[in-house]
Chain A
Amino acid sequence: MTRPGSEARGSGDVIEVRDLHRRYGGSRSGFEAVRGVTFSVRKGELFALLGTNGAGKTSTVEVLEGLARPTSGSVRVLGRDPFADRRQVRPHTGVVLQQGGLSADLTVSETLTMWAGTLTSSRPVQEALDLVDLGGRGRVAVKQLSGGERRRLDLALAIVGRPTLLFLDEPTAGLDPESRVAAWALVRHLLDEGTTVLLTTHYLEEAAQLADRLAIMHAGRIVRSGTPTGVARTEPARVTFALDATAAVLPLPQMPQAASVSRESRFGTSFVTITTPDLQPTLALLLSWAQDRGVLLRDLHARPASLEEAFLALAAETAGEAQRQGAA
């Protein structure tokens, strides 16, 4: 018998998912929400699962949390089967579910005290409340909390047992921007303490800010994965500027790296957008061309693609594919 986590320590992977399938209902009438997903999460990193509604994120995470059995494929969490070896795995995991699941008539302290009483080891209740900035709200009934405060109580429940692995299923959905930033700070603090985090989110900025690596799911499959910058780089970078009427008549330089060059004229000013997978050489050619001809590149912007652009491009691509398949 191996100790919980010992295999994981060996390979450095806290979560290993191989060809995971999850189907609801019968094999004919049912629906396959997860269709062969493979990924791993290393110790101490934050791994984000992104995707539109119905992409299969929660269905995947529920299997990792040990709430459901996979239909097929293998899942190891801390080196064990999270469903069958629930007793060994649970003391090391913390969970924020998509729907809070808090009793409205209990107070904040009562909720957390109840939960802490079910754990093998736990932080003091007050410490957990302070960590989520609910220190002064202990005697308030859950039903009187704002949406943001409830979500923070969810987080307190998830971290009160000092988990080594934290599952956060859309933890900041419905939070105001300030609470969201506070939640991010807390997650970073936990990462600094060595916690491993699996996060699902709708917010691409959240993933870009927090994730070490991420995977984008669509229709039950992972369609792209890598670091946030790596995934963003799959889309071309973008250079935009404006040219005065005098400069607008000049031909632009040859930029072999550029993927596309588009011009739009309005009131004598020409607005130019260049997309390129190789930002630096494209920009160098453009700048030396402007320098040589004494041309002013007004409002010059040059930036790599954001995660959001990559995500939207991917969504458009997969939607197009689905349409073609539907037509065929």
Chain B
Amino acid sequence: MVDVKRIQENNYDLITIVGEVDASSSIELDTALSEALASGHKSFLVDCTSLEYISSAGLGVFMSYIEDIKKNNVKLVLYGLNEKVANVFEILGLDQLLSIKKDKEEAKLEL
């Protein structure tokens, strides 16, 4: 139900999330983020343009890496959230805790 891909582009890794992240599929996002951060790379863009749905299970995955991201000076920027997905981040106030940008160009400027 969710497909998470990571490719290297220039000076950052691009993680693309396609589909729905709920309690049954959040493990795939978790594995992908864990592997990405373990790679030792420091700059990540997360393309959410094809992320159709996220529940607390998916938000929890992002939250659980906030400490690691800070501690290891990693830059992780999400972009392209549709209105419904952005709304879920806002209800919890996660939009204040994660770096979220409108599109890829804006996101790249954050790195």
A-B complex is real: no
